[in-house]
Amino acid sequence: MGDCAFCAIAAGETPAAMVLATDDLVAFLDVRPVFKGHVLLCPREHVGTLPDLPGRLRDPFLAAGQRLATAVVDGLGAQGSFVAMNNTVSQSVPHLHLHVVPRTKGDGLRGFFWPRTRYADGEAEEYAARLRAALA
């Protein structure tokens, strides 16, 4: 899909701090993370919402989500993770994506109010590298 930001990332046309790349999936850091290390997992092919996900991608998608949830703990020292996706409503990019957000007790995240932060120059790649190492 020509105007989809996540399709452009998956195709390598738009740079991103890549965490995981397979033939079918990509995972990269959110540019406006809830907490640093916040990863977005997407199918490479344009899929709008979870109900649209082809059956052949269900298991690989969930398996990658599990690996990323483990990686934020092992690679970033988080105590756990918040894993979520929106379908249409509140979906800022209309391409299926799973949020994997590192969590620690007392981090201030309450309900569905998601404060956003930014990475300092070069910091996104450092976080992405730590997550890649935890996935290896």
Per-residue pLDDT tens digits for 74-104:
999 999 999 999 998 888 899 999 999 999 9
* Residue 68 and residue 58 in contact, taking contact as beta carbons nearer than 8 Å: no
Please report, rounded to a whole number, the percentage of residues in the chain having pLDDT higher than 90: 84
Domains plus CATH for the chain? 5-135 (3.30.428.10)
Please tell me the predicted confidence (pLDDT) of residue 109.
81
Report, as an integer, the average pLDDT of 109-133.
85
Please, are residues 34 and 78 in contact by the beta-carbon 8 Å criterion?
no
For 9-48, what is each residue's pLDDT tens digit? 999 999 999 999 999 999 999 999 999 999 999 999 999 9
Answer with the residue of higher pLDDT: 111 or 85. 85
Catalytic residues: 97
Two tokens, residue 68:
């990323």
Question: What's 22-60 look like in SS3?
Answer: CCCEEEEECCCCCCCCCEEEEECCCCCCHHHCCHHHHHH
- Cα 60-95-5 angle, rounded to 5 deg: 115
Q: Tell me the per-residue pLDDT of 14-23, one tens digit each, with 9 for 90 and over.
A: 999 999 999 9
What number is the average pLDDT over the span 69-75?
A: 97
Strands (E), the chain: 18-21, 25-29, 39-43, 80-84, 98-103
3-class DSSP state for residue 110? strand
Q: What is the model's pTM?
A: 0.85
Q: Which residue's entry shows tokens 């949020």? A: 99
Mean pLDDT of the chain: 93
